[in-house]
């Protein structure tokens, strides 16, 4: 989930487990959501996105679930690998080009071999 403190929420998992990273968004008008992955020393990289007309979208080893009723987003990573260790950000936006994504604080995922 999101954090307002100094430390990022952290999820520790064993290699091979499934990981679930949660995100609560704030704007009911948001209709486009994106997950980014940020590895140490690098900029955020796009993972997967979903629009509000969908509840679920799958990529390679990743699935994003959207619950508009409670304004909740989750990222599921199957068979987590050490290379998945990173900070994961959700971002909310609105379609149409004039809206710029607002990023959450991020969740740190640590994968133990």
Partner 1 sequence: DAGVIQSPRHEVTEMGQEVTLRCKPISGHDYLFWYRQTMMRGLELLIYFNNNVPIDDSGMPEDRFSAKMPNASFSTLKIQPSEPRDSAVYFCASSPIRDSLNEKLFFGSGTQLSVL
Residues near partner 1 (CB under 8 A): 6-8, 32, 34, 41-46, 49, 89, 93, 95-98, 100-106
Whose Cβ is closer to partner 1: residue 30's or residue 80's?
30
From the CB of 69, what's the least distance to partner 1, in Å?
Answer: 23
Spatial contact of 87 and 36, defined as CB atoms under 8 Å apart: no
Q: How far, in Å, CA of 6 to CA of 61, rounded? A: 30
From the CB of 30, what's the least distance to partner 1, in Å?
Answer: 12
Q: How far, in Å, CA of 89 to CA of 107, rounded? A: 7
Whose Cβ is closer to partner 1: residue 43's or residue 83's?
43
Positive or negative: CA dihedral 38, 91, 33, 74: positive
Q: How far, in Å, CA of 32 to CA of 66, rounded? A: 10
Whose Cβ is closer to partner 1: residue 39's or residue 112's?
39
From the CB of 53, what's the least distance to partner 1, in Å?
Answer: 11
């Amino acid at each position: 989930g999101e954090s307002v403190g100094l430390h990022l929420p952290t999820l520790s998992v064993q290699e091979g487990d499934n990981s679930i990273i949660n995100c609560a968004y704030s704007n009911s008008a948001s209709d486009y959501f994106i997950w980014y992955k940020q590895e140490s020393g690098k900029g955020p990289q796009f993972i997967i996105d979903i629009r509000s007309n969908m509840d679920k979208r799958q990529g390679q080893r990743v699935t994003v679930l959207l619950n508009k009723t409670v304004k909740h987003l989750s990222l599921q990573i199957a068979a987590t690998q050490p290379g998945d260790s990173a900070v994961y950000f959700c971002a909310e936006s609105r379609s149409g080009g004039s809206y710029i994504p607002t990023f959450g604080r991020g969740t740190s995922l640590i994968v133990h071999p």
